[in-house]
């Protein structure tokens, strides 16, 4: 008979703006669990969590680690995950709260859940409203129209990736593009030029791209700056900036597949045409 260990973990998202974006189930965990361990940058969200949680532990100060010379930010993320796990191992029901979606660009939650499950604890994740959800709404983009590719900027730079220029391309975190040492949360013009040079293999330097930043509090405005791709290195970017690249080519019909589909439909008396 397997004895379930006392203590559990749930990772939740507070949404990008919290107000109106916090799901009821996430709120119930925040309010009812023994301790809330949080990494949220927004001061309004921080104060709300502090007010409703039975016990509150803020992880924001851990980011100071990255100011230590030679410190890798993966070590900081590991320390955050270990703090969450320590509370769980003490027998508490732990709610780890992250802004946006707890599983999107949030390696801390993935590390903590994997370790908790490996040790025999109950652990799971609840979805939250992410920057991608806000992007789709704010830019009026439907990923189903042309298709969408999505990847982290540095990953795109250092690996061979096949880009479909008939689809929307979203590059996350261009504000730290090319920072291989994982010791800073910023990039520079030279690194961004390398990113542009690689994109120029597929797109014109005159191709219009969008710099997007979701608003994270009621006083903040959503950033939607349309620029030339070639101007990217000289633009001011933040860690939360997202580079959105609209399609550069139109979709081409694969007539052979359309014919095959219609041949099958014809056998059933239902000849159809592709849109």
73 among known catalytic residues: yes
pLDDT confidence of residue 272: 56
Pick the catalytic residue from 77, 121, 191, 203: 77
Handedness of CA 204, 208, 211, 212 (dihedral sign): negative
pLDDT confidence of residue 187: 80
121 among known catalytic residues: no
Question: In this predicted model, which residue has the larger pLDDT, 2 or 158?
Answer: 158
Pick the catalytic residue from 17, 29, 73, 203: 73
pLDDT confidence of residue 180: 73
DSSP sequence for 223-263: EEEEEEGGGGGGS---TT-EEEE--SS-----HHHHHHHHH
Mean pLDDT across 195-219: 94
pLDDT confidence of residue 35: 98
With a cut of 90, say whether residue 124 has pLDDT above it: yes
Summary mean pLDDT of the chain? 90
- Which of the four pLDDT bands, split at 50, 70 and 90, describes residue 1? very low
Domains plus CATH for the chain? 8-129 (3.40.1010.10), 132-245 (3.30.950.10)
pLDDT confidence of residue 70: 60
Mean pLDDT across 93-114: 95
**What is the per-residue pLDDT across 168-190, written as a single tens digit (0 to 9) for each?**
999 999 998 988 766 666 788 99
Pick the catalytic residue from 89, 93, 99, 121: 99
With a cut of 70, say whether residue 271 has pLDDT above it: no
State the Cα angle at 50 between 242 and 132, rounded to 5°: 20
CA dist 63 and 58 (Å) reads 11
99 among known catalytic residues: yes
DSSP sequence for 175-225: GGTT-TTS--S---HHHHHHHHHHHTTTS-TT-EEEEEE---STTPPPEEE
With a cut of 90, say whether residue 137 has pLDDT above it: yes
Number of H helices, E strands in the chain: 9, 10
**What is the per-residue pLDDT across 3-59, written as a single tens digit (0 to 9) for each?**
568 999 999 999 988 778 999 999 999 999 999 999 888 888 889 999 999 999 999
């Amino acid at each position: 008979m397997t004895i379930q260990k006392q203590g559990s973990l749930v990772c939740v998202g507070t949404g990008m703006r919290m107000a109106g974006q916090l799901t009821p189930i996430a709120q119930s965990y925040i309010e009812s669990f023994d301790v809330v361990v949080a990494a949220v940058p927004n001061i309004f969200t921080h104060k709300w969590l502090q007010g409703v949680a039975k016990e509150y532990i803020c992880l924001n100060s851990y980011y100071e680690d990255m100011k230590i010379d030679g410190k890798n930010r993966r070590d900081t993320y590991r320390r955050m995950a270990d703090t969450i796990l320590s509370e769980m191992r003490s027998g508490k029901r732990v709610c780890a709260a992250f802004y946006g979606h707890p599983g999107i660009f949030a390696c801390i939650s993935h590390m903590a859940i994997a370790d908790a499950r490996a040790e025999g604890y109950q652990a799971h994740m609840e979805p939250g409203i992410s920057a991608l959800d806000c992007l789709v709404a704010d830019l009026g983009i439907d990923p189903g129209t042309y298709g969408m590719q999505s990847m982290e900027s540095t990953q795109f730079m250092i690996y061979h990736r096949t880009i479909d220029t008939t689809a929307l391309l979203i590059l996350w975190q261009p504000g730290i593009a090319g920072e291989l040492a994982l010791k800073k949360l910023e990039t520079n013009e030279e690194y961004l030029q390398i990113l542009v040079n690689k994109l120029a293999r597929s797109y014109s330097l005159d191709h219009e791209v969008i710099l997007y930043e979701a608003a994270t509090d009621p006083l903040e405005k959503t950033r939607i700056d349309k620029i030339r791709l070639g101007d990217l290195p000289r633009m001011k970017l933040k860690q939360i900036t997202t580079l959105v690249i609209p399609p550069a080519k139109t979709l081409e019909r694969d007539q052979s597949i359309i014919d095959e589909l219609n041949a099958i439909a014809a056998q059933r008396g239902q000849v159809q045409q592709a849109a």
